[in-house]
Structure 1
Amino acid sequence: MVLSNEQSKLFYDLWIPLLDYINQKYKLVKELYGMTSPKGLPIESVMKITTKLWEDVSVIDEYLNLHLDKMKKEQVTIMKGWKKVVHGKFVVERHLKSGSVLVSCDKEEVYIVCGIYSSWREMLDGFPMPQIVQTSLIPFDNVIIHDGIVQPDGICLGKNMADEARQIYLNAKEKDSLIKVILS
Structure 2
Amino acid sequence: MKQSEEDTKLFYKLYRALLVYTNQQKGIIRSVTTVDEFMQLPSKEINKIREALYEQPELIDAFVQENLFNFSQDELEIVRSWNNFLKAEFYLFRYLKKYAIFLDNRSPPKAYGVLALVSDFQNIVSQKLPVYLKAVLLPFKGQIIYDGILIPSPVSFGPGIRRDLKERYQEAKARFGIITSLPWVEIKDSDEERLKAYLSSEATRLKYGDKIDGRIKKDPSLLSVYHQEMGKVHARTYGRCLSKIGLRNAWFAILEGEVVAGGCTRAEVERILDEIIPLDKRGFAYVFHLKGK
Q: Normalising by the residue count of structure 2, what TM-score does the alignment of the two structures yield?
A: 0.58
Aligned-partner residue type, residue 112 of structure 2:
Y
Distance of 2:42 and 2:163 partners within structure 1:
36
Aligned-pair distance for 1:145?
0.9
Q: Which residue of 2 aligns with 1:93?
A: 93
8 A Cα contact 1:89 1:105, kept in partner: yes
Q: Which residue of 2 aligns with 1:5?
A: 5
Distance of 2:40 and 2:77 partners within structure 1:
28
Q: For structure 1, which segment, 74-83 or 171-180, has the greater mean C-alpha deviation from structure 2 after superposition? A: 171-180
Q: Which residue of 1 aligns with 2:148?
A: 148
Name the larger-Rg structure: 2
8 A Cα contact 1:16 1:37, kept in partner: no
Aligned-partner residue type, residue 152 of structure 1:
P
Whether 2:178 is the aligned partner of 1:178: answer: yes
Gaps of 5+ in 1: none
Identical-pair percentage: 25
Distance of 1:160 and 1:118 partners within structure 2:
31
8 A Cα contact 2:32 2:38, kept in partner: no
Q: Which residue of 2 aligns with 1:106?
A: 106
Distance of 2:100 and 2:58 partners within structure 1:
29
Q: Which residue of 2 aligns with 1:116?
A: 117
**Cα offsets for 1:20-45 (capped at 9, x unmatched):** 01112111123543123885542211
8 A Cα contact 1:17 1:36, kept in partner: no
SS of structure 1 residue aligned to 2:133:
strand
Alignment of 1:17-166 (within 5 A): 17-36=17-36, 41-67=41-67, 70-107=70-107, 108-125=109-126, 127-166=127-166
- Quick one: higher RCO (CA 8 Å, sep 6+), 1 or 2? 1
Aligned-pair distance for 1:102?
0.7
How has the CA–CA distance of structure 1 residues 28 and 39 changed in structure 2, closer, same or farther, with 3 Å as cutoff?
A: closer
Aligned-pair distance for 1:175?
4.6
How has the CA–CA distance of structure 1 residues 69 and 54 changed in structure 2, closer, same or farther, with 3 Å as cutoff?
A: closer
SS of structure 2 residue aligned to 1:122:
helix
Aligned-pair distance for 1:158?
2.2
8 A Cα contact 1:12 1:38, kept in partner: no
8 A Cα contact 2:82 2:139, kept in partner: yes
8 A Cα contact 1:3 1:115, kept in partner: yes
Aligned-partner residue type, residue 114 of structure 1:
L
Q: For structure 1, which segment, 64-73 or 18-27, has the greater mean C-alpha deviation from structure 2 after superposition? A: 64-73
**Cα offsets for 1:99-154 (capped at 9, x unmatched):** 111110123011111111112111112x1321001011111111111112100102
SS of structure 1 residue aligned to 2:67:
helix
Whether 2:169 is the aligned partner of 1:169: answer: yes
Q: For structure 1, which segment, 174-183 or 58-67, has the greater mean C-alpha deviation from structure 2 after superposition? A: 174-183
Gaps of 5+ in 2: 185-293
Instruction: Please tell me the root mean square deviation across aligned C-alpha atoms, in Å.
Output: 2.0
Aligned-partner residue type, residue 87 of structure 1:
K
How has the CA–CA distance of structure 1 residues 34 and 87 changed in structure 2, closer, same or farther, with 3 Å as cutoff?
A: same
Aligned-pair distance for 1:97?
1.1
**Cα offsets for 1:73-120 (capped at 9, x unmatched):** 221221111111111110011101111111101230111111111121
SS of structure 2 residue aligned to 1:30:
coil
The count of residues paired between Structure 1 and Structure 2 equals 183
8 A Cα contact 2:100 2:114, kept in partner: yes
